[in-house]
Copies of this chain bind each other. A is one copy, B any other.
Amino acid sequence: MQLNLSTDIALRTLIYLGGKGGSATIAEVSEAFSIVRTHLMKVVMALVAANLVLSERGRNGGIRLARNPAEITVGEVVRVMESNLALLYCLRQEATNDCCPLMPACKLRKVFFNAQKQFLQSLEGSTLADIL
């Protein structure tokens, strides 16, 4: 049970930008956390698409938070970055009733669905501002 490395990088990038309170270059963040630049750029693109980070081109360009740290929750970042939140195979969207003989009567999915809801709700209770 681990989060993707991309989620890890996303959270640290946002903390870095929030802590700095202004813009930073990709090179700067990449160096601060020893993250491979191409991986960081992919993560930043996802953060830009989710309106969590703004990217500004030009000589004084860079990346910065798109919103106030109090308006960004850890839960939102996890939901944006974790492309697959299906804890078990049978919770995946592509899973059919044929994929396991226990389906569709199995109550396990509901148990995990509820536990994950608790997990995400807990993360949604913490903002970037709380962490900084």
Contacts and interface: CB of A to CB of B under 8 A. Distances in A.
Looking at chain A, what size class is its interface with the partner chain? 35 or more
A89 B8 contact: yes
Interface in A69-99: 74, 78, 82, 84-89
A14 to B, nearest CB: 10
Interface string A1-41: 11111001001100110000000000000001100000000
Task: Please state the number of chain copies in the assembly.
Answer: 2
Q: Is the interface of A mostly helix, strand, loop or mixed?
A: helix
Interface in A105-126: 106-108, 111-112, 114-116, 118-123, 126
Given A11-B108, A12-B100, A123-B112, A1 B118 contact: no
